[in-house]
Amino acid sequence: MTVIKTNEWLGESTDHLKICGRLKPYFHNSSTREISGYLHSFGMYKGEEAGRLLFADLKKNKVWDIVRADEALLKKEWSGPDVPVFILPADAANRKMRDEFGGKSGLAFHDKLFLFLSDNSKRDIQTILTHEYHHVCRLAKDPKKERDYTLMDAVILEGLAENAVRVRMGEEYAGSWTKRYTKDQVQSFYEKILKPNLELKSDSRKFTQIMFGTGFYPKMLGYAAGYHIVKDYMEKTKINMTDLFFVSSDEIVNKSFIKPK
């Protein structure tokens, strides 16, 4: 991974459109406003003044140094790909990000990674980097292409990443959703909600509703279910994190406490 010097970008201007204009080479055929809207939806800051204040916190906390050192460790440990990492201020006014994700969020692709941070501790920064870089590695090593991912693939993707956090950082650093439901509840949700929708693709509105638990769905359903399913599979098989990158979603589900589909 290469940590891009977004600190220099932000030092010149915290106008989010100017920042997103610099990102155009990394998003083929997308306009500056399209990139901006997309990144905002995942937790990037919005106002120029808010961005300036948060940037001051990020500089004071030496965030770029922390990420640069930790990404080198992860890349070596997981034999991961070298992708650009973009660190930007988070949307401090986003209540969901604050309550569910501790004022931080990320966005991972097979070829790049974004971290949206506020006044987070070093351990919190390492936690979100672990989660998001695990996504990068899974997407790079999985023979199934990201464009073909279904709801179940996304559930397992999130479960894998948060179990990587549990193993590397400790269970206390796992997301709040990991403690929201019991195994029995997850089994029930699987039968009633997930199983009938396993083949949904990410362009479906229901896909997002189930993953995040919006509308009438249980809160953070997809994330919570994925965590429990993957954790149970790991306990049953004693597999290590490196080998787990190559295991299919179906195999993980079928050998966990979830009954085969």
Mean pLDDT of 104-113: 93
Render pLDDT for 35-75 as a digit per residue (tens, 0 to 9).
999 999 999 998 889 899 999 999 999 999 999 999 999 99
Residues 21 and 134 in one domain: yes
Q: Contacts by 118-126 with C-beta closer than 8 Å and gap 24+?
A: 118/54, 118/57, 118/89, 118/90, 118/92, 119/54, 119/57, 119/61, 120/61, 120/63, 122/61, 122/66, 123/169, 123/173, 124/173, 125/63, 125/66, 125/67, 125/70, 126/66, 126/70, 126/169
- The pLDDT confidence band at residue 261, using thresholds 50, 70 and 90, is very low
Last residue of a domain, one of 141, 156, 189: 141
Residues 168 and 202 in one domain: yes
Q: 3-7, 202-206, 234-238: which range is least confident on average?
A: 202-206
The pLDDT value recorded for residue 97 is: 66
The answer as to whether 261 is a domain residue is no
Q: Is the pLDDT confidence value at 3 over 50?
A: yes
The answer as to whether 51 is a domain residue is yes
Residues 223 and 137 in one domain: no
The answer as to whether 260 is a domain residue is no
Last residue of a domain, one of 121, 141, 161: 141
Per the structure, how many domains does the chain have? 2
Residues 245 and 152 in one domain: yes
Last residue of a domain, one of 141, 176, 203: 141
Residues 130 and 8 in one domain: yes
- The pLDDT confidence band at residue 145, using thresholds 50, 70 and 90, is confident
Residue bearing the bigger pLDDT, 153 or 101: 153
Q: Is the pLDDT confidence value at 80 over 90?
A: yes
Q: Per the confidence metrics, is the pTM higher than 0.85?
A: yes
Residues 191 and 213 in one domain: yes
Domain that holds residue 182: 146-254
Render pLDDT for 182-214 as a digit per residue (tens, 0 to 9).
999 999 999 999 999 999 998 899 999 999 999
